[in-house]
Structure 1
Amino acid sequence: MTTRRRFLLLLPAYAASAQTFVSPFHRQKPAPAMSMHVFIGTDTTKGVAKGIYRCSFENGHLGEPVLAAETQRPSFMAISPQRDAMHRSLFAVNAINDPAATITSFSLDMRSGALTQKNKVSSAGAGPCYISVDSTGKSAFVANYFGGTIASYRIQSDGTLSSPVETFDYHDAKYGARGPNPTRQDKPHPHSVHISPDDRFLIVNDLGSDSLTVYSIDPSTAKLTPSEPLVTNTRAGSGPRHIAFHPNGRWIYLINELDSTIDRFLWSTTRSATNPKGLLINAGATVSTLASGFPAAKNTASEIMVSPDGNFLYASNRGEDTLVVFAINDDGSLKEVQRISSGGKTPRHFTFDPTFQWILCGNQDSASITVFRRDQGTGKLTGPTQTVALDSPFYILFA
């Protein structure tokens, strides 16, 4: 049930965000059934996987995977706004632990789902693990997990990435000291680069230093300006991985890989055109993603997403091998409503389909994609309703 307070919290996002969210007073109508393309990045160093695979998805049914493009370890992908009625660009990081690692640009034919490689550029560091594209289609940003760097790129008129515009090295002491976990936090590990819903700011999660950093973005040039304060610290040894914005634009939820927790931050910005600032404040509300009694040492938390109505948060656990559903209360706090098996082993990534009626989950170490039906009223999942075999799935992207 939507209260007046929840509506007032959501209202700024409806007015300001470039994305369209459904009014909380009207239940979202299911989109007409249609066949969609699903692209799945795989670990090409294990099994027989060769790159990016394509499936159809219709009425909750996932088609058999076919190889769409051979490319090294496409562990994360992003898609640009449409360049014309039938073409978009798909960008894939090539997650090899080598300073010569690359980002590959593909032209995507929206009708056939065919991918055509257009160019490769340096990722500006070893082990690229995340790429974000702004909604203007002018700039992109990459995190390099092993190299300890982030980089920015222009998206050129032909839909390809430029060479790196700027590179920021997180070995610099200004980004904070290393965390207390000697195995996982021996050096900086930028794990994700998230663009704010208004395209004005970039938020970077550094697993190695237990910190988040904020930059303002010039989308026309892809240049970044450090915000003040630059660094927001999280709990020592938590290992920040990914974040999810709430539709109200004021709450950010952070999933921590190392201690399997979720933190909520308050997000505020200035409207200055010449010196914009983005500020993160830890709300001091930490919840575990694990069932009581499950040892945190045997788990790493992975993905986090918030439903577009702002009512539910979803997270995945690798080790416990579960998907967890939380209700989001009016004050932003979380209440667990469901814990369900991922239907496989090591659920690295999951995603909503465009109707938000289904969730697809990639189980990396059991070589499978599982499909779950989602109840938009209760947030709960049913399934798996289907399991599709595919070696070492890394990432799932609808297009």
Structure 2
Amino acid sequence: MTTTRRRFLFLFPAYAASTQHLRSPFHKKKPLPPAPPRVYIGTDTARGVSKGIYQANFNSSTGQLSVPVLAAQTLRPSYLALSPLRAGKRSLFAVNAVPDPSATVTTFDLDTATGILTEKSKVTSAGAGPAYISVDSTGHAAFVANYFGGTIASYVIQPDGSLSQPVDTFDYKDPKFGHHGPVPVRQDGPHPHSVFVSPDDRFLIVNDLGNDALSVFRIDPGTAKLTPSDPLLTSLRPGSGPRHIAFHPNGRWVYLINELDSTLDHLLWTTTHSVTHSQAFLVNTNSPVKTIAQGFPADKNTAAEVMISPDGNFLYASNRGEDTLVVFSIAEKGTLKEVQRISCGGKTPRHFTFDPTFNWILCGNQDSASITVFRRDQGTGKLAGPAQTVPVDSPLFTLFA
């Protein structure tokens, strides 16, 4: 049959439509870009404006943070932690940092598809003023430091993602944990400020701001029970006020930020490999480095957060009072050298965090009601910005999830 030009033009659209399913298997649709990572923000509800945990989206390509919206109403969620993903589900834990012995830790179900938080349960924090919560990488155990109560507690994470009642508690008023430091206003007693799980999940390191000491416990991975290591304590300079630590990627160096004298200490981490009686201890290299600029009044500043880049080349610290972020390079032997000092873009930078690409840092400025976003050069470690300032009342903690 002869097909005329007119007949071909008439039949071609129908033919083309009928062959859509015969396209080459190599012709694929472009994949959708990944959803912007979610950021959860714990806030200070005691000031009467914020209501709890807020949620925003962050675009790691542009460095833009969306306007935070309330995700869950809860009392003073000053520190947050996530459980590992289990069967498509995660739990988000928040300490409710009220200065009362009835303080709690709240568990939320986190819907990984929508980001919605649903309150699941509350348990006692086993002390007043819980300031820190950490979770081991297996998602079997959690640990809490109670700043005002002077206690720490351990928990089992149950199959439904909620916390058990406390498994172990330790009261730091016991003399074996040392004696309070020489700053009466801040060191009137023990003040455990953080509980940090070692990279191998075998040990818990406690920073006690009130007693100027770090203590180490062995973790039972099945029960979350804690056993004091031997030696138990690493004593620090009187009046230093240890707050938080960060492990170097090599697993041997630990960097401690001291709140009261605004310093960083480099410590060496050593463990034994015994399965039944493993021990660990910290040795201070006695090479403190100031976080504040020379000449800035030490009594006008409290150092806050410390973090290390994943390549191990740079350390970042924040100063409340000087209101700065400081970048240090980490030399071959672990010594620190200041690279940059930059304004935090607000007031009282209590906490900051890297985004998942490590190209950006989000800094929560507690007393200027804002989060500032800084671009990070991975080659030099330096920060540029702030590239954006987002209003949110009294941010205490930021967590990517």
TM-score computed with the length of structure 1 as normaliser:
0.91
Equivalence map 1:192-341=2 (5 Å): 192-341=194-343
1:25 is matched with which residue?
A: none
| Deviation string, structure 1 residues 192-213 (Cα, Å, up to 9, x no partner) | 0000000000000000000000
1:6 is matched with which residue?
A: none
Aligned residues: 367
Equivalence map 1:116-155=2 (5 Å): 116-155=118-157
Counterpart of 2:70 in structure 1: which amino acid? L
Of 365, 368, 371, 1:369 maps to 371
1:295 and 1:84 mapped to 2: Cα distance?
Answer: 52
2:66 and 2:48 mapped to 1: Cα distance?
Answer: 21
| Deviation string, structure 1 residues 41-72 (Cα, Å, up to 9, x no partner) | 00001141000000001121100000000000
* 1:351 Cα deviation from its structure 2 partner: 0.2
| Deviation string, structure 1 residues 235-285 (Cα, Å, up to 9, x no partner) | 000000000000000000000000000000000100001101001000111
Equivalence map 1:342-357=2 (5 Å): 342-357=344-359
- 3-state SS, counterpart of residue 111 of structure 1: coil
* 1:84 Cα deviation from its structure 2 partner: 1.7
| Deviation string, structure 1 residues 348-394 (Cα, Å, up to 9, x no partner) | 00000011000000000000000000000000000000000000000
2:184 and 2:116 mapped to 1: Cα distance?
Answer: 44
> Are positions 1:55 and 2:46 aligned together?
no
1:392 and 1:219 mapped to 2: Cα distance?
Answer: 36
2:305 and 2:321 mapped to 1: Cα distance?
Answer: 13
1:157 and 1:47 mapped to 2: Cα distance?
Answer: 36
- 3-state SS, counterpart of residue 99 of structure 2: coil
1:73 is matched with which residue?
A: 76
2:310 and 2:278 mapped to 1: Cα distance?
Answer: 27
2:87 and 2:296 mapped to 1: Cα distance?
Answer: 50
The answer to whether the Cα contact below 8 Å between 1:227 and 1:277 also exists between their aligned partners in 2 is yes
1:41 is matched with which residue?
A: 42
2:90 is matched with which residue?
A: 88
Q: CA RMSD in A?
A: 0.7
- 3-state SS, counterpart of residue 52 of structure 1: strand
| Deviation string, structure 1 residues 176-233 (Cα, Å, up to 9, x no partner) | 0110001100010000000000000000000000000000101210000100010110
**Relative contact order higher in (CA < 8 Å, ≥ 6 apart):** 1
* 1:317 Cα deviation from its structure 2 partner: 0.1
1:163 and 1:83 mapped to 2: Cα distance?
Answer: 21
1:252 and 1:390 mapped to 2: Cα distance?
Answer: 32
Give unpaired runs (5+ residues) of structure 1.
Answer: 1-31
2:55 and 2:245 mapped to 1: Cα distance?
Answer: 26
* 1:33 Cα deviation from its structure 2 partner: 6.1
1:90 and 1:365 mapped to 2: Cα distance?
Answer: 25
1:34 and 1:312 mapped to 2: Cα distance?
Answer: 29
Taking every aligned residue pair, what percent have the same amino acid on both sides? 71
Counterpart of 1:246 in structure 2: which amino acid? H
- 3-state SS, counterpart of residue 299 of structure 2: helix
The answer to whether the Cα contact below 8 Å between 1:370 and 1:388 also exists between their aligned partners in 2 is yes
The answer to whether the Cα contact below 8 Å between 1:128 and 1:144 also exists between their aligned partners in 2 is yes
- 3-state SS, counterpart of residue 365 of structure 1: helix
Counterpart of 2:72 in structure 1: which amino acid? A
2:320 and 2:44 mapped to 1: Cα distance?
Answer: 16
- 3-state SS, counterpart of residue 273 of structure 2: coil
TM-score computed with the length of structure 2 as normaliser:
0.91
- 3-state SS, counterpart of residue 55 of structure 1: strand
2:38 and 2:172 mapped to 1: Cα distance?
Answer: 36
2:291 and 2:240 mapped to 1: Cα distance?
Answer: 13
Of 157, 160, 175, 2:159 maps to 157
- 3-state SS, counterpart of residue 104 of structure 1: strand
- 3-state SS, counterpart of residue 254 of structure 1: strand
Larger radius of gyration: 2
The answer to whether the Cα contact below 8 Å between 1:47 and 1:391 also exists between their aligned partners in 2 is no
| Deviation string, structure 1 residues 73-92 (Cα, Å, up to 9, x no partner) | 0000000000122x210000
* 1:345 Cα deviation from its structure 2 partner: 0.2
Counterpart of 1:68 in structure 2: which amino acid? A
Counterpart of 1:46 in structure 2: which amino acid? R
2:236 and 2:310 mapped to 1: Cα distance?
Answer: 26
Counterpart of 2:47 in structure 1: which amino acid? K
2:369 and 2:112 mapped to 1: Cα distance?
Answer: 27
1:396 is matched with which residue?
A: 398
1:374 and 1:337 mapped to 2: Cα distance?
Answer: 13
2:28 is matched with which residue?
A: none
1:17 is matched with which residue?
A: none
| Deviation string, structure 1 residues 146-192 (Cα, Å, up to 9, x no partner) | 00000000000000000000100000000001100011000100000
Give unpaired runs (5+ residues) of structure 2.
Answer: 1-32
